[in-house]
Amino acid sequence: KIHRDSLPRILNHRDSLPRKNSTHRDSLYGNLTQRDSLPRNSTQRDSLPRNSTHRLSLGRNRRQSSMNSIPRNLDRRFIRYENTFRMEPDDDRRIEIANVKRIGNLVVESAIKDYQYDPNNAKLFTSRLSEQLRYHMKQLPSNRFKYVIHVCMGQKQNQDLRVTSRCLWDLKCDRHVTIVKETKDCYLTVTIFCIYSE
Amino acid sequence: MDDANEVAFIVDEVSNIIKESIEVTIGSQSYQQAKINTWTSNIVEAILNSLTKLNKPFKYIVSCVIMQKNGAGLHTASSCFWDNSTDGSCTVRDDIDEIFSFVIERQFAYIFF
């Protein structure tokens, strides 16, 4: 009897030592470790007796219940933030169309003021203009919006041009602004789309 | 939960849809100023209809530029502030005899897991 009582104590003693090394890593980083480090953890776990692995897995399940609810094969890059349950923009985050239009007009007018159409330079001009507009849109206080800025510039040579766009989006939250400017020898069409994303 | 593949943005599928709708609407006709209005709206609406039939959780923006070939230069630029892993765009350029057409289609994911 004495011999049998001493056995559990020896097992517990062995439990405590390996658990110090591996519980931290397993519990905190269990599901999040990279695939290279998995074999290391598994070899450590194999050396532990059965009692301690059972206890380890219980702890891990409790601490990481939210991670276990997501299926393993789901691509992790789609999981960014928790659900905010916000379907529409807040009052203070709502985007002001008049504001967007005013900023757009300012930027475009200052860019096109003394501009002579130059085929070599035009490519750089349009890309720089769209990047400037994007920078200004990012400064707006509403931060749940995604922006698309489309700049179309051409030379005036009595040709015909038509720019059309259709969108499939949420009528309440998503907006667009169009600005058209002309100079002596070129025309410029700017369309800014603002899309709400929760 | 949806499989990750269903939500991903597949460029080939979308570019095929765009090319088909351009061919169907304009075909090999020459530039006709009276019809240009209907052409652009038909192209864009056809693309949007076929995109909605895919039944994916996306918001779409389709933009189409049609220009008569006159020797004039045309430059287009587009800059976007979005999420690179979930959103994408597809551009199709088409050079027919007298017409130059250019369609951009953008997708924004609106469902988060």
| Ranges of each domain in chain B | 11-109
Q: What pLDDT, on the 0 to 100 scale, is given for residue A121?
A: 83
Q: Give A32: exposed, middle or buried? Use CB within 10 Å, 0-12, 13-18, 19+.
A: exposed
Q: What pLDDT, on the 0 to 100 scale, is given for residue A161?
A: 82
Average pLDDT for B38-49: 84
Q: What angle do CA B7, B13, B19 make, to 5 degrees?
A: 145
What CATH number is given to the structural domain containing A132?
A: 3.30.1140.40
Q: In what order do the strands lie in the sheet with B99-109?
A: A161-168, B58-68, B99-109, B88-95
Single out the residue of A97, A118, A95 nearest to residue A179, CA to CA. Answer: A97
* Residue span of the structural domain in which A142 resides: 97-157+164-196
Please give the Cα distance from A150 to B91 (Å, whole number): 12
Q: What pLDDT, on the 0 to 100 scale, is given for residue A25?
A: 43
Higher-scoring residue by pLDDT: B98, A31 = B98
Q: Specify the DSSP class assigned to residue B8.
A: S
CB-based contacts of A77, cutoff 8 Å, min separation 6? B85
- At A70, list the tokens: 């997501």
Is residue A120 included in any domain, yes or no? yes
Quickly list DSSP for A143-193. Answer: -SEEEEEEEEEEE-SS--EEEEEEEES-TTT-EEEEEEEE-SSEEEEEEEE
Nearest CB neighbour to B70, from listed A159, A193, A195: A159
Q: What pLDDT, on the 0 to 100 scale, is given for residue A55?
A: 52
* CB of A149 closer than 8 Å to CB of A170: no
CB-based contacts of A196, cutoff 8 Å, min separation 6? A88, A89, A144, A145, A146, A170, A173, A174
Q: What pLDDT, on the 0 to 100 scale, is given for residue B108?
A: 78
Q: What pLDDT, on the 0 to 100 scale, is given for residue A46?
A: 46
Is residue A83 included in any domain, yes or no? no
pLDDT digit string, tens, across residues B46-92: 888 888 888 888 888 888 888 888 788 888 888 888 888 878 888 88
Contact list in B for residue A139 (CB cut-off 8 A) is none
- CATH assignment, B11-109: 3.30.1140.40
Single out the residue of A137, A144, A112, A143 nearest to residue A126, CA to CA. Answer: A112
Average pLDDT for B84-109: 81
> Could B112 and A83 be called an inter-chain contact, meaning their C-beta atoms sit closer than 8 Å?
yes
Single out the residue of A154, A114, A153 nearest to residue A130, CA to CA. Answer: A153
Q: What pLDDT, on the 0 to 100 scale, is given for residue A22?
A: 42
Q: Which value does ipTM take for this structure?
A: 0.78
* CB of A107 closer than 8 Å to CB of A133: yes
pTM of the model: 0.64
Please give the Cα distance from A106 to A103 (Å, whole number): 5
pLDDT at B15 over 80: yes
pLDDT at B41 over 80: yes
* CB of B67 closer than 8 Å to CB of B93: no
**Structural domains of chain A, count:** 1
> Could B81 and A155 be called an inter-chain contact, meaning their C-beta atoms sit closer than 8 Å?
no
Confidence grade of residue B9 (pLDDT, cut at 50, 70, 90): low
Q: What is the pLDDT along chain A (198 residues), one digit of tens a residue?
A: 555 444 444 444 444 444 444 444 444 444 443 344 344 444 444 444 445 455 555 545 444 445 555 555 555 555 555 666 666 666 555 667 888 888 888 888 888 887 888 888 888 888 888 888 888 888 887 777 888 888 888 888 878 888 888 888 877 778 888 888 888 888 888 998 888 876
Single out the residue of A167, A162, A159 nearest to residue A195, CA to CA. Answer: A167
> Could B40 and A78 be called an inter-chain contact, meaning their C-beta atoms sit closer than 8 Å?
no
State the count of interchain CB pairs (< 8 A) between A and B: 164
Please give the Cα distance from A175 to A194 (Å, whole number): 5
> Could B59 and A174 be called an inter-chain contact, meaning their C-beta atoms sit closer than 8 Å?
yes
